[in-house]
Amino acid sequence: MNDETVHQLCKQVVSQAHAGVDVVSPSDMMDGGVGAIRLAPLIYYYVL
């Protein structure tokens, strides 16, 4: 369940970065969630 949730959160962050947001403010308490969210835009060539 956690891996699926992290994957969906990363997809949302990349979508938001593509839309032009300046800040993403997650409230994720699961293992690895925030770390994955921070790396997702970099993997897809966005910098937040």
Output the pLDDT for position 25. Answer: 82
Query: In whole angstroms, what is the distance from residue 22 CA to residue 13 CA?
Result: 11
- Nearest CA to 31 out of 7, 2, 1 is that of 2
The model scores a pTM over 0.75: no
The per-residue pLDDT for range 27-42, each reduced to its tens digit, is 767 777 888 888 887 7
